[in-house]
Structures are given as C-alpha cells and as structure tokens.
Structure 1
C-alpha cells in the first residue's frame, strides 16, 4: 500500500496509536497523574492511628509517624479521611502536601 512495506505500516500504526493515546490523556504519558488528580497527606500528629473504619471505635490497623506522607482519597466521612479501602485516619491530624489537591468529594 502506497509503496510502504508492511513492517513500515505496522510501525506507523503503532506510532499513530501512541500519539492518539498521548493526546487523549491531555499530553501526559499514560498512567501519569498530575498534582491535581493526586491527593497526598502529611501526618501532623506524633503518632496517627490508621483505623478500619471512619470512627474512634473501629480497630487500629497500623500507625503513621509525624511527617509521614501517604496517598489518600478525597472521601471524608464522620471526620475521617479514607486512605484507601478499609484504611481511615482522623482528618484533624493530616494536611495536604503543598503539591497535591485533596478537595473532598
């Protein structure tokens, strides 16, 4: 087709597909999140309990030390921020890092 070998057509197809995926992702490599889509929190308490649910009565799963940085969700319930499924911390003792966006949804 058009005098281009099949191997050349495959290479062109792959490059066009990659370019379309790059453009569809807002000009960022696929899988790369920017600060506006990433929520990261810094622990402000000396020791922060990570609980299995959004309440003081829920079991403690682990602890985080002061100044630890952790990924978090934008979900806050009953004064607790969800870190990920089944892991919650008291919202009072974490603060968003300067480069993240942690607006509650």
Structure 2
C-alpha cells in the first residue's frame, strides 16, 4: 500500500472511532458536570456574568437542553466560562444532579 492510501485509511478509521465515541455519550445522556438543564422561558438570555445587567452573550430557546454547573450564584447558573443564565428560567433534567 502507498503512503497516501494508508493516510486516507487512517483518517477514515479515526473519523469512525470519534463518531462512535460521541454517539455513545449522546445516547447515555451523560453530562460532564452531572447537571443538565432545560430552558422554561420562550427565550433565555445568556450573560457574561451572574448579573442581570451584564452583557448578553447568547440566547437559548424554550426546551433547549445543555450542561450547566451545579449550584446557583446570585440567581444565576453558570453554563460555560463567561456564560450565565437566570436559574429561575431553567429546570434540571430528570436524574440530573444540579
């Protein structure tokens, strides 16, 4: 086999392995933080800090689900670095440890 064929074959195998690993995580519904929430508002603003006057850095629509950090600070739940949402408009997913 040529080097080019081996490289292509290796790339295909890598893509398949990554896909299978990711599909397994999605099927289990596992959360890296143990906390997964659902949005209960029509539109939920994500802010850059745990402050209702902080800059809006994103939006989530009703029924969106995403990982969050356990615990609430100042009425907000951290969902990523520099991204906080109002905890009152989220509901922990069943079996989640928020």
Q: TM-score normalised by the shorter chain: which range applies?
A: 0.5 to 0.7
Residue among 41, 57, 60 paired with 2:37: 41
Aligned residues: 70
| Contact 2:34 2:70 survives alignment (8 Å) | no
Q: TM-score, normalised by structure 2?
A: 0.65
Are 2:32 and 1:53 equivalent residues in the alignment? no
TM-score, normalised with respect to structure 1: 0.61
SS at match of 2:88: helix
Structure 2 unmatched ranges of 5 or more: 1-27
Partner of 1:68: 64
Larger radius of gyration: 1
Q: Where has structure 1 moved over 6 Å in runs of 4 or more?
A: none
Contact 2:48 2:55 in 1 (8 A): yes
Higher helix share: 2
